Amino acid sequence: MPDILLHFSVPFALSVPIFGIKRSLIIGLVAILPDLDVLLHIHRSMTHSLIILSTLSLPILLTIALQRPNELQYTIACILALFSHPIFDAFQTYTPILYPLMQRSLYFSVNSNIIVGSEITPKIHVQVHTISTTFTPFTKLEGPLFTSETLPITLSLIIIPILYSLYLKINKNKRSSSNK
């Protein structure tokens, strides 16, 4: 499910009400950084490890906290967006989210539904699958920027917050001009 545009759009949509469009664009771009491993011809490599991402993020977080504390909330949002990427991927396929502490890649399989009849019966089945972690280079890059299933979701997650932000801006301008 998580293609690159969905990795971008979920953190973007969640952050627009708090940080505005410009900063949320950066937050969305930070969320796709783990996929830069394709430049090394390996996908879902160490860049998808929460341990490695935490190790790299901690000094940045501490530096921001000490030198620019007013940017701390924004920095935390960027780090959470970064972490969302491997977590989303782990619900799609095997992902080395605990590498190097665990030499196995995890895949979380969740199947659920709610049956409505004479009574409401929720059924949830959760499994954690593991395989040995191997970082195998690929010879040909293939992967969707978006899929037919995620395109409407992605467009909604991008367009609705932008339209809402524009609506708020227009109303703010109307109110400020009518108060003059």
Encoded tokens for 128: 């954690």
pLDDT of residue 180: 66
Other Cβ atoms closer than 10 A to 20 = 14
The structure's pTM equals 0.86
Q: Residue 52 — pLDDT band, cuts 50, 70, 90? A: very high
Q: Can the peptide bond before residue 100 be classed as cis, meaning omega within 30 degrees of 0?
A: yes
| Domain extent listing, the chain | 4-178
Q: Tell me the per-residue pLDDT of 112-134, one tens digit each, with 9 for 90 and over.
A: 888 888 888 888 999 999 999 99
- Please state the rounded mean pLDDT for residues 75-83: 97
Whether 78 and 27 have beta carbons less than 8 Å apart is answered as yes
Residues in the chain: 180
* Residue 6 burial (CB count, 10 A): 22
